[in-house]
Structure 1
Amino acid sequence: MTAALRLAPIHRYLLKRLLQVIPTALVIVLVSFVLMKSAPGDMVDVIAGESGGATAEYMEDMRKLYGLDVPVQEQFLTFLKNVSHLDLGYSFRDSMPVSELIWSALPATLLLSLTAILFAVALGIALGAIAARFRGTPLDTGITVVSSIGFATPLFWVGLMLIVLFGVKLRWLPVAGLTTVGMDYASNWDYAKDVAAHLVLPALSLGCFYLALYVRLTRSAMLEIFDLDFVRTARAKGISEWRVVVRHVLRNALLPIATVTGLQLGGLFSGTVVIETVFGWPGIGRIAYDAVTARDINLFLSIFLCSSFLVVAMNLVVDLLYAVLDPRIEVAA
């Protein structure tokens, strides 16, 4: 009997899912590589365009320097070989190793994404629970209509409108960057306040979409549970309506919410591209956009590789969280 077969069911399940990460990530990176190579031009063309022109000999030398003169399949295999040695390569656009570039941008993306999701989860669950509790009333209709508008409104439009209102008209908040350029901070507290001020608008813009999603999800999940037998039994026992809503209905509605939250966390990199571009936020989404426009293949593929691993990892965490939230659910080995 192999070691894997002697493992407990949960361990076998974890091992099986972890082994699935590698082929999944490879397929994602391969598709991304093919799409990137299908676009007209390459990094040398971008560099030549930005410099105002270049001779054919110079461009040929540049392609040899960047390894773009070899067949595309060889370029892809070279990238995979470097990744197997934990080397993500070099970003010629930013003149620094890709790993350093990603690590330097990761904190900004985590700060923006986690703030937006925490805001959306807390307020979305509260509004969704209120709408479900008072279903059919004007309060329910108002919350549902507003959430539908928020869900259908493009992220970039929300960001631009917030910039116009709070940045241009009222001048309450900064509209670009992570910190104020040239600011001399007297203390860490002053630095934190400046970052928080810059964070408000992008986090609010990104959170509006997630907020609408959690309101609709919480409301629909709770409405299904309100009609179940155990809820009617709890009411028949004389339990207060507040305890019925929170302890019985909302608690059982957390399963789909946990699933969506896990998937949103897995899409941290991709979900912030638009907002980081609109607000000039120095995160992963912004450098991913810059990598595409500059045809920086090493940086682009590395971001997609990290993103794919994160998505698969968060899916695994959500599966395990299901078993914790609901003991009736067993993890299949």
Structure 2
Amino acid sequence: MKKKYIVLFFILLTIHFILPRIMKADPFVFLSSDGTEVASYTEEEILKYKQYYGLDMPLWRQYLNYLLGIFTGNLGYSIYFKEKVTTLIFSRLVWTAGIVIFSLCISSVFGLFLGSFSAWNHQRKLDTILYQGMVIISEIPSFLIANMILMFFIIKWRILPTAGGITPFIKIEFSWSFILDIIKHAVLPSLTLTFLRLPDFYFVSRSAMLQQIQKKYVETAQAKSLGDIYILMRHCLPNAINPIMTRFLLSIQTMFNATLIVENVFKYPGIGKLIRDAVFYRDYLLLQGIFLVITIFILSISLLGENFYQTIEKRKEL
């Protein structure tokens, strides 16, 4: 199993190295122009920049340097931001992690609750309303949900900031006012991500709990006059946890796609916005670093998921 992940890791590293270099644009020509590919730098100046960043070397040499940098923790300097790639990525990763963790916790809890409630009231009016509502939400594109929430809080309800991660020119210090300012700016991106993930957790929870509710042990529990919530949480949930955990782990992996859109709509200073900036400015080294971090994160979650399932299966055998 570990060998599979190692092979996949190196395949993805190679793809990440190639992708930025097949973009039909020179980052130094672009940075020295007004976006029309007409450079203000001379050819000698552009060549010096390429030599500085090692982009004048043959591709095989660049690839070896890329691998060496990964295993020594040196991912180079961003061409546009002029900062260490590792410093830049991890400074933005903190912002993304905050809204992702919050939205996953809220959407999973509410999705589990609503899915369980819907399953318990299967084929009743409340179940139909919840199910159809979640179907509608799941079909709305992420950029549309983000813009709908943005417009609502701009036009109708102006109580929360709609852009950025902190208020401009605010004094950065460890104080309740500063922490509250960060939380306020994180609410709308987190709310959007919660809406995007909620239907997934609802559908999986409803399906998994419905399978358990139809089994005989539930009838036995009802015959003992046990409460509905007790039956769901104490008896049904432990047996339905596998697909719910699968959805949770998959949601963590796919969150980067959602944050790419959400963070750019709300101008939130996370990884999603950094990816957009790196692509826009043709920043090869920064793109490589971001892809590397995402790859390690996703493969780690996949490995964690496999170990979790193996542990569950062993317990079932016992």
1:93-242 map, 5 Å: 93-184=80-171, 188-242=175-229
Match of 1:298 in 2: 285
The runs of 4+ residues in structure 1 deviating greater than 6 Å are none
Residue of 24, 39, 53 corresponding to 1:53: 39
Separation in 2, partners of 1:28, 1:314 = 16
Deviates more, 1:68-77 or 1:144-153: 68-77
TM-score w.r.t. structure 1 length? Answer: 0.87
Residue of 27, 35, 38 corresponding to 1:43: 27
Residues 236 and 170 of structure 1: is their aligned pair in 2 closer, same or farther, counting only changes over 3 Å? closer
Retained in 1: the 8 A contact 2:79–2:284? no
1:310 and 2:297 are equivalent in the alignment: yes
AA aligned opposite 1:247: R
Shift of 1:71: 2.4
Shift of 1:261: 1.2
Retained in 2: the 8 A contact 1:323–1:329? no
Match of 2:11 in 1: 27
Separation in 2, partners of 1:43, 1:158 = 33
Separation in 1, partners of 2:188, 2:256 = 18
- Deviation per CA, 1:139-182, whole angstroms, max 9, x where unpaired? 11111112112211111111111111112332121101111112
Shift of 1:247: 1.4
What is the aligned length?
314
Retained in 2: the 8 A contact 1:322–1:329? no
Residues 21 and 186 of structure 1: is their aligned pair in 2 closer, same or farther, counting only changes over 3 Å? closer
Residues 185 and 28 of structure 1: is their aligned pair in 2 closer, same or farther, counting only changes over 3 Å? closer
Kindly report the root-mean-square deviation, in angstroms, between the aligned alpha carbons of the 2 structures.
Answer: 2.2
Separation in 2, partners of 1:49, 1:230 = 71
Separation in 1, partners of 2:129, 2:314 = 36
TM-score w.r.t. structure 2 length? Answer: 0.90
Secondary structure at the counterpart of residue 322 of structure 1: helix
Shift of 1:20: 4.0
Retained in 2: the 8 A contact 1:221–1:253? yes
Secondary structure at the counterpart of residue 221 of structure 1: helix
Separation in 1, partners of 2:265, 2:106 = 20
Residue of 252, 255, 259 corresponding to 1:272: 259
Match of 1:86 in 2: 73
- Deviation per CA, 1:174-214, whole angstroms, max 9, x where unpaired? 10111111224797111121111111110011111111110
Residues 76 and 329 of structure 1: is their aligned pair in 2 closer, same or farther, counting only changes over 3 Å? farther
Deviates more, 1:247-256 or 1:231-240: 231-240
Unaligned runs of 5+ in 1: 1-15
Separation in 2, partners of 1:49, 1:146 = 49
Separation in 1, partners of 2:316, 2:59 = 46
Retained in 1: the 8 A contact 2:142–2:258? no
Percent of residue pairs bearing the same amino acid type = 30
Residue of 206, 214, 238 corresponding to 1:251: 238
Residues 300 and 185 of structure 1: is their aligned pair in 2 closer, same or farther, counting only changes over 3 Å? closer
Deviates more, 1:112-121 or 1:183-192: 183-192
